[in-house]
Amino acid sequence: MKNIWKNVEKSKTTYIALISILLVFVMPILFNLFHLGRTNRIIWLFFIINIFFAGFIGWFTRKYQLSFYNLVIFPVIFVISVLVKYGRYGYFLAGIYLVLSILIYFLFEKEK
């Protein structure tokens, strides 16, 4: 079991996936728990926090020279959550997150 956990700790892709799951599934629950309305959830979570995280993924992927496919993890997890509980506007947001990640990825050059 320790060997499996060590591999998970070394994998930056796993960190991206875990933070994505946290933002997509746990944060909306926390917003509801603190009685923050739908408008606050959409503005703060979907437009501010998630857009910042999408940009971070682009930078993180480029900095650590991870596979380009790491940029797709967050939008795919977001689309899964949209299928489960949100409106159609979520599909557009997933596209925005993906495009932003790709733009940030290509904005930063490889570090030597």
* 70 C-beta neighbours (distance < 10 Å), count: 20
Q: What is the pLDDT of residues 31-48, one digit of tens each?
A: 889 888 888 888 898 899
pTM summary value: 0.85
Lowest mean pLDDT among 2-6, 20-24, 35-39, 77-81: 2-6
Alpha helix stretches (DSSP H) within the chain: 2-10, 12-21, 27-33, 38-40, 50-63, 70-85, 89-107
| Whether pLDDT at 2 is above 70 | no
4 assigned to some structural domain: no
**How many Å apart are CA 55 and CA 60, to the nearest integer?**
9
60 assigned to some structural domain: yes
Nearest-5° angle of CA 92, CA 96, CA 100? 170
Q: Domain count of the chain?
A: 1
The pLDDT score that the predictor gives to residue 94 is 92
Range of the domain at 40: 10-107
**How many Å apart are CA 103 and CA 112, to the nearest integer?**
20
State mean pLDDT over 11-20.
91
1 assigned to some structural domain: no
